[in-house]
């Protein structure tokens, strides 16, 4: 395994003009953060500062002082709560390759704790890689309060890096503070007379949105796909007159077996029939 440092790094104005007393340690620390054994394709990785101190044979206090200087110049940002290091211009220096590196980046994000730095990373990714999978994943994290609660709230910027406050929770929300999209989804099951275990459905819904690990592993699912599938399933049940006791529970529909996939496109005909009937009824009034 090896790390790469682009030569253009040293032309950056953020690197040049450092106080001579700190210049050597400043540049060594930045080179280390660009190419160390803890890094990944995003330059957004977990790095306990004690590891950096050990690798560079520095005191922990020297590491902290140097990180602070790098942050002041907008080169890095560090989240002490999650111990995530973000090299702000890492993607500018190294880039992301389609498919293999892209998938690796997505898997990396899915296995990391939520951090106050996610919004800043998303701003960079959205500009440079808007069509890649991990961009959609980041967009979901920073824009959906149902996943993060009140965890990500913009507080302005510092050193060119968005400053974000984050709540203590970094897992699936088990509260009953449901998102607007989920309420639309849930209303479908209420209309079918099968509104059972709303909290269980909510937890599975969130897991669909951020991706699932383990034997039933899958990437993030778009809200639009889940709602489309739910509406098609609703139309199918209505057209066939399915009794409530034979209708899938909402938590099963969005559960590990991904039953929703059966209704994204296959049952569009039912939805079309429902729409046509509605138009005819409207015309008879």
In this structure, is residue 173 part of a structural domain? no
Assess whether pLDDT exceeds 70 at residue 126.
yes
pLDDT per position as a tens digit, 137-184: 888 777 655 444 333 333 333 333 333 333 333 345 555 578 878 888
Contact 178, 146 (CB under 8 A): yes
69 shares its domain with 193: no
Q: Is 81 helix (H, G, I), strand (E, B) or coil?
A: coil
pLDDT of residue 63: 96
pLDDT per position as a tens digit, 189-214: 998 999 888 988 998 888 888 877 77
User: Which DSSP symbol is given to 204?
Assistant: H
In this structure, is residue 136 part of a structural domain? yes
pLDDT of residue 274: 53
Return d(Cα 110, Cα 108) in angstroms, integer.
6
In this structure, is residue 170 part of a structural domain? no
Mean pLDDT value of segment 249-278: 74
Across the chain, how many H-helices and E-strands are there? 13, 5
Last residue of a domain, one of 137, 165, 193: 165
pLDDT of residue 282: 53
pLDDT of residue 46: 93
153 shares its domain with 193: no
Domain count, the chain: 2
In this structure, is residue 171 part of a structural domain? no
143 shares its domain with 207: no
Q: What is the mean pLDDT of the chain?
A: 78
Assess whether pLDDT exceeds 80 at residue 54.
yes
Assess whether pLDDT exceeds 60 at residue 71.
yes
In the Cβ-directed half-sphere of 115, how many Cα atoms lie within 13 Å? 25
Report percent pLDDT > 70 for the chain: 75
118 shares its domain with 15: yes
In this structure, is residue 1 part of a structural domain? no
Domain that holds residue 143: 7-165
Mean pLDDT value of segment 120-124: 86
185 shares its domain with 260: yes
Q: How confident is the model at residue 8 (pLDDT cuts 50, 70, 90)?
A: low
Last residue of a domain, one of 139, 165, 191: 165
């Amino acid at each position: 395994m090896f790390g790469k440092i682009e030569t253009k790094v040293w032309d950056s104005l953020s690197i040049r003009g450092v106080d001579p007393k700190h210049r050597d340690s400043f540049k060594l620390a930045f080179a280390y953060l660009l190419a160390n054994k803890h890094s990944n394709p995003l330059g957004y990785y977990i790095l306990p500062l004690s590891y950096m101190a050990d690798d560079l044979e520095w005191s922990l206090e020297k590491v902290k002082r140097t990180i602070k200087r790098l942050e002041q110049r907008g080169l890095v940002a560090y989240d002490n709560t999650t111990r995530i290091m973000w090299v702000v211009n890492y993607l500018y220096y190294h880039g992301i390759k389609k498919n293999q590196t892209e998938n690796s980046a997505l898997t990396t994000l899915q296995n990391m704790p939520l951090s106050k730095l996610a919004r800043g990373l998303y701003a960079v990714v959205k500009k440079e890689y808007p069509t890649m999978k991990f961009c959609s994943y980041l967009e979901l994290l920073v824009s959906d309060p149902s996943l993060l609660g009140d965890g990500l709230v913009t507080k302005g910027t510092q050193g060119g890096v968005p400053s974000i406050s984050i709540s203590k929770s970094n897992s699936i929300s088990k509260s009953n503070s449901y998102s607007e999209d989920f309420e639309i989804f849930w209303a479908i099951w209420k209309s079918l007379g099968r509104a059972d275990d709303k909290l269980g459905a909510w937890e599975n819904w969130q897991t669909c949105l951020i991706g699932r690990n383990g034997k039933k592993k899958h990437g993030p699912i778009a809200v639009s796909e889940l709602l489309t599938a739910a509406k098609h399933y609703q139309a199918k049940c209505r057209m066939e007159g399915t009794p409530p006791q034979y209708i899938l529970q909402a938590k099963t529909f969005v559960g590990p077996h991904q039953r929703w996939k059966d209704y994204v496109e296959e049952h569009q005909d039912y939805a079309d029939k429902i729409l046509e009937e509605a138009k005819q009824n409207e015309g008879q009034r």
